[in-house]
């Protein structure tokens, strides 16, 4: 990994396209347990890991997902955001920005590690998006600490490409 990759979080995640997405069970803002496998056979999932609720880059990213949420629904996908913030922080963040999708709490970073989401400068939780099909297979990954909103358009394009293959 070069210096730019270290700064921007440009290293590759451990889970890559073509692999089965690791299942997980994490609490949402209300304390309900959500499993990735709950969506298998029903809809695709856009799973995005982000550093922290209510920070400038994460707010832009979440609002971009919010603004395109109908496009994700039309493409047959659910959006799920994951950070280490607790349910209370997620609830405030979702309410403040009218986020219509799930925010899950990965308090110990276990799922982040399971997916191999690289840290920025070895310190900050990375920003990686995984597009997962209805069978639970990762079809695309996007990694960029600095271009948070780009993940949204890339994920929609990937979902549309998946649908064209069907």
What structural domains and CATH numbers belong to the chain? 3-165 (3.40.30.10)
Per-residue pLDDT at 165: 58
Q: Copy the structure tokens of residue 59.
A: 């707010």
pLDDT at 65: 95
CA pseudo-torsion sign 91, 96, 99, 104: negative
Whether the predicted model's global pTM rises above the 0.95 cut: no
Distance, CA of 79 to chain centre:
7
Q: What is the largest CA-CA distance in the chain?
A: 41
In whole angstroms, give the CA distance from residue 101 to residue 90: 11
Averaged in consecutive runs of 10 residues, what is the pLDDT profile of the chain (166 residues)?
41 81 96 96 96 92 96 95 95 97 96 89 82 96 79 88 70
Active site annotation includes 58: yes
Candidates 45, 47, 58, 77; catalytic one? 58
Q: Which one, of 114, 149, 156, 103, lies nearest residue 131 by Cα? A: 156
| pLDDT at residue 151, rounded to an integer | 78
């Amino acid at each position: 990994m070069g210096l730019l990759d270290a700064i921007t979080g440009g290293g590759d995640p451990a889970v890559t396209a073509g692999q089965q997405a690791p299942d997980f069970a994490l609490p949402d803002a209300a304390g309900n347990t959500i499993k990735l496998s709950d969506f298998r056979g029903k809809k695709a999932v856009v799973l995005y890991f982000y550093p922290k609720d209510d920070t400038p880059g994460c707010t832009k990213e979440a609002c971009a997902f919010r603004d395109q949420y109908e496009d994700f629904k039309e493409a047959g996908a659910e959006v799920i955001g994951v950070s280490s913030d607790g349910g209370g922080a997620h609830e405030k963040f979702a309410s403040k920005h009218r986020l219509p999708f799930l925010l899950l709490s990965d308090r110990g970073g276990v799922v982040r590690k399971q997916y191999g989401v690289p840290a920025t400068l070895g310190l900050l939780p990375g920003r990686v998006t995984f597009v997962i099909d209805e069978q639970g297979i990762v079809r695309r990954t996007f990694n960029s600490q600095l271009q948070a909103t780009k993940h949204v358009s890339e994920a929609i394009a990937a979902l549309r490409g998946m649908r064209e293959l069907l």
